[in-house]
Structure 1
Amino acid sequence: MIRFLLAVTLFAIGNTLAHAADAWPEVVRIGVQKGDPLVALRASGELEKALAPHHVAVKWTEFVYGAPMVEAINAGEIDVGTVGATPPILAQAGAAPDVTYVAYAPQYQKSYAIVVPARSEVRSIADLKGKKLAFAKGSQGHLFALKALQDAHIATSSVQFAYLDYSDARSAFERGFVDAWVVPDPRYADTELRTGARTILTVGDLSVPQYAFYIATRSFATRYAATLRLLFDVLDKQTRRELADLPQTASLMASNTGVPIDVWNRALPRLEWGVHYPIGADVIAAQQDAADLAYREHIIPKQVRVQDVIVDIQPH
């Protein structure tokens, strides 16, 4: 009798968990940035079609960079989005510990760079001593800059940081108010084409890989895992098609972002588009390295353990 009751109880628990995993929200609110593949997915309408049988609407919100997106997730304004390495580390160490990692993009390689004006005498990271380096505070570029200086054995105190958003940084860069700029595509490509900016380091040159991540609140990730799984699977399929036809994708992105097509033609071949889940130990280790660096450089007030905020979204 006891065995029978135990079996019934386990069966009920299993059904409850399965039901919870297959729950669907009325709407999924997605945050996007100009250079990420979610922009193309938004333009395609494929996600809306895939979610229609489950009666789930889609709401898209665009952000300039990752830190404001994390704030929006923490405030309950959006459910999921993609950001660089830095924003979720700040979230875990600060006021948004409910933000979790649910998937990741391929390793950053060529789509983020430190650039200098064409006629600059700066040729390497070592030449930045005593110079002004611009980046958006709390962005992927923030930890990129710190890691680049660490790799070059340059003390951060020997470089002047200018915390500027992208529009202000572009203006300061063109006017000569800063000596170097940490910038992602498509802004990176636009700066190369319009100003002749010269690259001194790309993010793939760092000693430890850095990644972009898909993040969500723990409550959304655990309750609506099926929604995230479908989002990632549709995104992966859509991204494969887009990368197989770059001219068409450049046209699509230009018409949906206002960024000129020549910029997309330059940026798209080096964008690390894609999505993978669940998150593997090697990726977690790389992100932990970034978190430890953020603590050592006093970017966050306490040490964090990245593994604690990973939610494993399992494939079918």
Structure 2
Amino acid sequence: MSNFNLSGAAFLRRRFLRVIGTTAALWGLGSGASKAQPAAVKPEKALEHLPQLSQLPQLRIGYQKSAVNLVILKQQGVLEKRFPNTKITWAEFPAGPQLLEALSVGSLEFGLTGDSPPVFAQAAGKDLVYVGAEPPKPDSSAILVLNDSPLKTLADLKGRKIALQKGSSAHYLLVRAVEKAGLQWSDIQPIYLPPADARAAFERKSVDAWAIWDPFYAAIELAIKPRALATGRDLTSNNSFYLASRPLATQHPQVLAVLFEELTRADAFVQSNRKDVIKLISDFSGLDAGVVSLFIQRRPKSPVSPLSAATVADQQRVANAFLKLGLIPKPVTVAEIVWRPDGTRLAQLERK
């Protein structure tokens, strides 16, 4: 934690060098591209051309209730202190698809979503960039049925109505669950609803099951004690991604370096100050402290870093699964919109 006591200039320099070195090493493991990547700009040279923090007039951040690290930064006012010359604004969204729509039309510069929303956004031609990732959270989502439901296994979903947010991480969870059950996507009836409407439909038995993530999962679990036919474990990594506008990624990489550092520090705070964190998130979200406690328990350590080659490959599998089912209109190559913090350009990997 000693880096947090460095002066501003020394801090930025050391952090950015570390980000560059880490990502270069990760991508050096191989990405499946048929041609070698161009040599990265030397860190010293890259730093010479970085804009000053004061040149970023505003930073608009999108978040959801599940974005724990961002919520901590918001509640503690950390970014406002780190960027005193930048207007920081925050906007809450019910799910990732809505957040990325705002980002793609220029209403945001930065935000966090699950695995599926960026795939749908890229397939729709939205202009955004993957810049960071948190570790997998497979226990933080589930396919739920009411406690008195006759459905006992994933195979029992055949012919049933399942509520989910279209294009959300729950969408891919359900895709994988259907596949594991030996069913076809056409065997089920997906009912596309945002989380609040999906919960209402679930409780009044208008749908047979609900694919959902925390904290909505924790809230319904404590309220009415549904059964989980499956969680993300053995189905999906349930990765979380930080996405940015192209101008932020390409013109202000040093801002992303500071964001990564502060988000990772926020996660360390979450791990070591559970009681304080539960109160912070509960006060912010209006969620019961018991709900917050439950979903925090299911959340592993979540430091933030640039995407590794393995994470990009995992995300490509998500995209391929949606394409195979005709749920996105065209193939996408995830790596084409992954930020490479080497001072030159985004990673552009050839399709096989």
Unaligned stretches of 5+ residues in structure 1: 1-9
Is the 8 Å Cα contact of residues 28 and 59 (structure 1) preserved in structure 2? Answer: yes
1:56 corresponds to 2:90 = no
- Equivalent residue, structure 1, for 2:169: 140
What SS is found at the alignment partner of 1:31?
strand
SS at match of 1:210: coil
Deviations 1:73-98 (A, max 9, x none): 111000000011111111111130x2
- Give the TM-score taking structure 1 as reference length: 0.90
Unaligned runs of 5+ in 2: 1-40, 344-352
> Does residue 1:258 correspond to 2:286, yes or no?
yes
Is 1:95 the counterpart of 2:125? The answer is: yes
Distance 1:214 1:16, change over 3 A: closer
Return the alpha-carbon distance in structure 2 between the equivalents of residues 49 and 22 of structure 1. Answer: 12
Report the Cα distance in structure 2 between the residues aligned to 1:236 and 1:103, rounded to whole angstroms: 11
Is the contact between residue 50 and residue 252 of structure 2 (CA under 8 Å) also seen in structure 1? Answer: no
Give yes or no for the alignment of 1:110 onto 2:110: no
Aligned-residue identity in percent: 33
TM-superposed CA distance for 1:271, in Å, is: 2.2
Structure 1 residues 34-43 or 72-81, which shifts more?
34-43
Give me the TM-score of the superposition, normalised by structure 2: 0.81
Q: 1:287–1:27: structure 2 CA closer, same or farther, 3 Å change rule? A: same
Identify which of 32, 40, 51 aligns with 2:72.
Answer: 40
Question: Shift of residue 275 of structure 1?
Answer: 3.8
SS of the residue aligned with 2:49? helix
Let me know the Cα RMSD of the aligned residues.
Answer: 2.1
Return the offset for 1:217.
Answer: 1.8
Mapped partners of 1:272, 1:73: distance in 2: 27
Aligned to 1:245: 273
- Taking the TM superposition and a 5 Å limit, the aligned residue runs for 1:46-85 are 46-52=78-84, 55-85=85-115
Question: Residue 217 of structure 1 aligns with which residue?
Answer: 245
Do the aligned residues in 2 keep the contact of 1:23 with 1:223 (CA within 8 Å)? no
Equivalent position SS for 1:19: coil
In structure 2, the partner of 1:25 is: 56
Query: How far is the alpha carbon of 1:117 from its aligned partner?
Result: 0.4
Question: What SS does structure 2 have at the residue aligned with 1:199?
Answer: strand
SS of equivalent to 1:204: coil
- Match of 1:205, SS? coil
Q: Report the residue type matching 1:109 in the other structure.
A: P
- Residue aligned with 2:89, SS: strand
Cα distance in 2 for residues equivalent to 1:126 and 1:73: 38
The question of 1:280 aligning with 2:308 is answered: yes
1:297 aligns with 2:321: no
Contact 2:50 2:251 in 1 (8 A): no
